[in-house]
Amino acid sequence: MEKTINKYIPLLDRIKSSKIINSLTFDHDFFVPSPPFHLIPEELKLNNFGSKVPNPTINSDSINTNFNNELFLHRPRNLAGCFSYSLPEVRKDYKYLISSKNALNDLNLNLDYELNKDENTFFKEIVSGQKVFFKHSDSKTNSNENFPYSLNYAGYQFGTFAGQLGDGRVVNLFDLNNGKNDYILQLKGSGKTPFSRFADGKAVLRSSIREFFISEYLNAIGIPSTRALSLTYLPKTYAQRIGAEKCAVVTRFAESWLRVGNFDLLNWRSDRKGLLNLSNFIIENHFPYLVDGEKESKSNFNKEYLDKYSIKIKDVSKYDEMYLEIVKRNAKTTALSQVYGYLNGVLNTDNTSILGLAMDFGPFAMMDKFNPDFSPNHDDVNLRYGYNETPSTIWWNLTKLGEDLIDLIGFDREMVISQEFVDKIEEKIDFNEEKHLNIIKRASKVINICEEEYQDCFMETYTQAFRDRLGLLKAMEEDEKKVISPMLTMLLKTELNYNRFFYNLSYLNFFSNNNDGENKFNELAKSLLPNGFEHSKDMSKEGIIKLISEWLKVFYERLKLENSIDGDRLRASQKYNPAFVPSNWIFEEVISKCKEDNCEGESLEWLEKFSLMCCNPFSRRDSRTDQWGNGFKELEDRWCWDQERNIDYSKLQLQCSCSS
């Protein structure tokens, strides 16, 4: 019977069996057959499992006590299938640091209860990797198996295929239901897995802090993202990066950690059946609303594009729809990232989510000033992952997904539900050259259609998101051309703080007086400049005021077209313009403080303050005390307003390495 406290159901009572383990292919050794294993029946254990781990492909009564469990769980090697069992490596010391309040709320977790030692919740131990929850499948009770695992995937990195990659330092713990959705909780930085390749399976403190806070910040500003639940410091665990650095573990969660790279792996191995099973798994568990064509009302495809490429609506299959869904989700996330100036820094196919989530945060940045040629990754010399190239890079990744799916989207709906299709997937028959060409031709059409859908979805989301930030309540056809594009040109030339510009604009009254003269717009322009501002690197103050003023006139005329009222516009736009933006220079301050204090004392209060600001970035001037707390007001002031008073160009547009 489930324990409850004021109707609260504890974490351990809400753990669900892993859908991945019970649905997809176990990752046995690709070159050497796996020896038999058996699962220890206890539900909660320390990491010392001896030699017994599960293998659903082997008789559960078989036990090989001579097999080295360490080799099976942690030795890097080439593997087949979709996942492999793994466990966190034991560390000498663990120090729990912080949990995200937003994440706790979204998972319906009560931290006070979970941290109460009298309740034996093991929350700190679970989110750090000290203890692992697992259970054996039971045919009598119909319960499914749960054991920690790591995903197998491949990927194109910087445009080049890199072969098998996989979760090299990630262990997926279990599925957790929040009352509405299932989420997969995982540990990042918990040690070697079978997919660690040449790496050590560790994550250093600085990169863990960055990932924890940016995950929660992106979610808070409305960019679909994987999430971060908790951060644990490993004070006696070191990793060799630029030098010897101390490590940490981040507990992350998402509805799915599947990515384009999972398809890349199966396609690389010509595993048609694996591609079919993975696609069916995704449709059933993440896109259950997708159905085969038949009726126009049931398809998400633009009929105009289907007609253009001579595909009938009744011939659209659920695999076509799945591909389109993944394309559109990524188009929306990419557009929102562009509007808010978020740059991932490394957008390979192995971190392009099938749900369109921002994920795997390395050398990312929130852009300090608008520069389409900026990349936050200092190793990205060709700017493949720079601002300008991001939309086309994501589409390039999605074309790779289309190529992976040729054997599915190359068939129309009638063929997909036929026995001939099943026989082809299971390689019982082989098609002649003409049929192969027809498959490729149809798949190419679907990819071309999805490219047009990607462009439409991107531009629609991009334009509307800018309207939201500007407080434009009505959509007009030429907004991008006449308002948004000139605004970005102005921001490029003036080098104003990118996100601060929108925030300040959301407090600017245009209609408080009827004076439409030159002086009005000059005064409004001056109010958008930092206090004490004299000049930028390349322009005088007067020149900058003139450029801003000219755009403000354009914006003012656009506002009049929709009969805008200051109050309505300001209230609307303030919902989309954060007061706080975690620039890289702020991350560096927080990381330096944690290193200096060894994650003790005042640095813990800094982390708490930083968390409150990242989780509540839209805090208004009149309510900030409640959401950001009363302590460390000087930090709050510096992180929000320092660049308004004293612009330090050496702090702006900081780049990072891929080292993490």
Stated as kind and residue range, the H or E segment containing 84 is strand 83-85
> Torsions phi, psi of 589, nearest 5?
-65, -45
Note whether 446 and 299 are within 8 A (CB): no
What one-character-per-residue DSSP string does 595-621 give? HHHTT-THHHHHHHHHHHHHH-TT--T
350 is catalytic: yes
**Shortest CA distance to 358 belongs to which of 459, 223, 264, 157?**
223
Tell the residue number behind the tokens 């194109």, with chain if given: 156
DSSP label of 468? H
Distance CA 532, CA 645 (A): 7
Residue of 175, 271, 292, 350 marked catalytic: 350
3-state SS of 320-339 is HHHHHHHHHHHHHHHHHHHH
Cα 566 to Cα 560: distance, rounded to the nearest angstrom: 11
CA dihedral defined by 382, 385, 387, 388, rounded to 10 degrees? 60
Query: What would the 3-class secondary structure string for 252-308 be?
Result: EEECCCCEHHHHHHHHHCCCHHHHHHHHHHHHHHCCCCCCCCCCHHHCCCCHHHHHH
Q: In terms of DSSP bridges, do strands 342-343 and 365-366 run parallel, antiparallel, or are they unpaired?
A: antiparallel
Say which DSSP state 419 is in: H
Contact predicate 302/311, CB 8 Å: no
What residues contact residue 311 under an 8 Å CB cut-off, 6+ apart? 412, 442, 445, 446, 449
Strand duo 244-254 + 227-240: pairing: antiparallel
Q: List, as own/partner pairs, every contact residues 262-265 make where C-beta atoms lie below 8 angstroms and the sequence separation is at least 24, other chains included.
A: 262/82, 262/151, 262/152, 262/153, 262/354, 263/401, 263/404, 263/405, 264/153, 264/154, 264/155, 264/156, 264/161, 264/349, 264/350, 264/400, 264/404, 265/152, 265/153, 265/154, 265/164
Query: Would you state the torsion angle of the CA atoms of residues 487, 492, 496, 499, taken in this order, to the nearest 10 degrees?
Result: 60
Whole-angstrom distance, CA of residue 602 vs CA of residue 594: 9
Q: Which residues contact 474 (CB under 8 A, 6 or more apart)?
A: 562
- Torsional sign, CA 469, 471, 473, 479: negative
Tell me the catalytic residues. 350
